[in-house]
Structure 1
Amino acid sequence: MKRTIATMVAIAALGSALAGCDSDLEKEAKKAVANQLRDPDSAKFRNVVGGQGVNHSDTVCGEVNGKNGFGAYVGYRKFIYYPDGTLSISSGQPIQFMLEYMEECPSKFWPAVRS
């Protein structure tokens, strides 16, 4: 019984440690996105995932929040980062960006559109 509990605790600890690990591409994406903000150090990320988009290229998608010139957070905006350094960040909800996001960012809410 003690061995089972110790094993479960070790597995939970390892899972928690690995959950915070970002791939190199995700780290690169976060740096590129943060550098586009007025205050890069204020960047807060959520829902950051890597995957393959329609063109079968790796992408990193997620949401970022940052501070404006008055020091207030402006709200989360979606982003798409490609391995070649191309970056798209939404401003509002323009239909073209949302279509690109749906194609390039696999999600539990919609499958990536495949051709």
Structure 2
Amino acid sequence: MRLVPVALAVVLLAACGQADPDVQLLAEAQADLKLSARDPESVRFGQVWVSRVSGVPAVCGTMNARNGFGGYAGERRFIWASQREIWVDEGATATELERRWPSMCRSEPTPLPAS
């Protein structure tokens, strides 16, 4: 579970008063994406990064989760915007994700600075 290390980092950095805004965005995005899934405990994240291509911070990446039959559906791209808008590469939001991906996400993730 990758959310636990990210959440722990946010708590530890916040306690020091030096929380990295990217770490906070990643934790918020992962929590929201889990809540949007049919089986929140099954969500697994692939590459996840913060992009500022459009001037507005967005969390971009891939995720996989169990479907209604209990099997994993396969990696899906997602965009989570700071306004808590979520687009996933499936169903009704797939077309919108395709339209927004070039303007909101880089094709290659930019590594976060080491803490």
List per-residue Cα deviations over 1:50-78 (Å, max 9, x = no partner): 01032x00000011100012210001111
C-alpha RMSD of the superposition: 2.6
Q: TM-score, normalised by structure 2?
A: 0.68
Distance 1:53 1:81 in 2: 13
Q: How do residues 1-115 of structure 1 correspond to structure 2 at under 5 angstroms?
A: 23-54=23-54, 56-91=55-90, 94-108=94-108
Give 4+ residue runs of structure 1 displaced > 3 Å after superposition: 92-96
| Structure with a larger share of its residues in helix | 2
Distance 1:96 1:84 in 2: 16
5+ residue gaps, structure 2: 10-21, 110-115
Q: How many residues align?
A: 90
Distance 1:39 1:95 in 2: 23
- Note if contact 2:60-2:80 (Cα within 8 Å) is conserved in structure 1: yes
Please tell me the residue identity of whatever aligns with 1:105: C
